[in-house]
Amino acid sequence: MVNVEALATCLSSSACIVNQLSSGLIIGMLLFLVASGVTLIFGVLHVINFAHGTFYMIGAYTAYTIYTVTGSYFLAAAGGALGAAIIGVLFERFIISRVYGENILMQLLVCYAFILIVDDLVKIIWGAQYLAMGVPDVFRMPPLRIAGGFVPPFYVFLVAVAVVILFGSVLLIAKTRFGKIVRAAAHNQTMVSVLGIRVPLYFALLFGFGCALAGVAGALAAPVRSLTPGMGVGILIESFIVTVIGGMGSITGAFLAALLLGLVRSIGSIGFPLFVDGAMFAIMAIILIVRPQGLLGQGEVR
């Protein structure tokens, strides 16, 4: 099951190490962007958004459309995030807010219905075939050569965006008035409402922000992955694994867990290609046994 020879050959080559590390970083950063929205929404609203992968798909298709029309990838990425955020706010206000406090089965059914509806709408609007954006013109340049390996400039951009979002999200929740209000409302919604603060508005904005993170991930994934209806399901499962390992409600934990799983998937594709998914679930199982709250989870956003 373990290809020791291939793994040893790769680890003995600096070029192979650089290539695998860059691939692992890309996988990890996309997982982080999706998982950070999941953990942010759960940490404050205590809702598991099973439809979160759908906003990843919405971001990807919106970015694809804007890029096709304008030719500007930066505008497309911003549009993907904005589109996911707007639909996320509408989803929160008119659908998911109706099941706050309900049992998890009810939330699951509501989200599943939303997933099916949006998947069909995507088929109607964009068709059921695979679509490919391709690497944007602005990033079509020679790859960076590092220790014999090659790193495409778009990979560097993607990692930089993810790191900026990591620090931005932590600061937003920990240091801004918006973050303090939503954290206070998460602990005692009634008390915050008595102070004259429109708690539902803040919850909707937070939910929209979480969906925007998924939309950004979709927009960043569009140049390197195929677009197809239902593309959010696979990454949703992996993002839940990231969230469990990192700790529900911890953005920093999600980042570390996503980085770990990205490297496991990248290195594992050489050393144990038939057990990559199994390895990810095994890590999750070990974490759940040894530290059930996850690496940095304490049940609230930090």
Tell me the pLDDT tens digit for each residue of 29-58: 989 989 888 888 887 777 888 899 999 999
Q: How far is CA 31 from the centre of its chain?
A: 5
Burial 205-233 (b: 16+ CB within 10 A, else e): bbbbbbbbbbbbbbbbbbbbbebbbbbbe
φ and ψ at residue 148, rounded to 5 degrees = 90, -15
Fold of the domain built from segment(s) 12-136+143-290:
ABC transporter involved in vitamin B12 uptake, BtuC (1.10.3470)
137 has pLDDT over 80: yes
Under the banding of pLDDT at 50, 70 and 90, the label for residue 123 is very high
Mean pLDDT, rounded, of the chain: 89
Token look-up 């964009």 returns 126
pLDDT, tens digit (0-9, with 9 covering 90-100), for 57-113: 999 999 999 999 999 999 999 999 999 999 999 999 999 888 877 788 888 899 999
Dist CA 42 CA 179 (whole Å): 14
What is the pLDDT, as a whole number, of residue 1? Answer: 67
248-271: average pLDDT = 88
pTM for the model? 0.90
Q: Is 214 helix (H, G, I), strand (E, B) or coil?
A: helix
d(CA 95, CA 90): 8
Measured between alpha carbons, how far is 261 from 91 in angstroms, rounded to an integer?
Answer: 30
How far is 62 from 26, CA to CA, in rounded Å? Answer: 21
> pLDDT tens digit string along 165-222?
989 988 988 889 998 898 888 888 888 888 888 888 999 999 999 999 999 999 999 9
Burial of 177 (0-12, 13-18, 19+ CB in 10 A): exposed
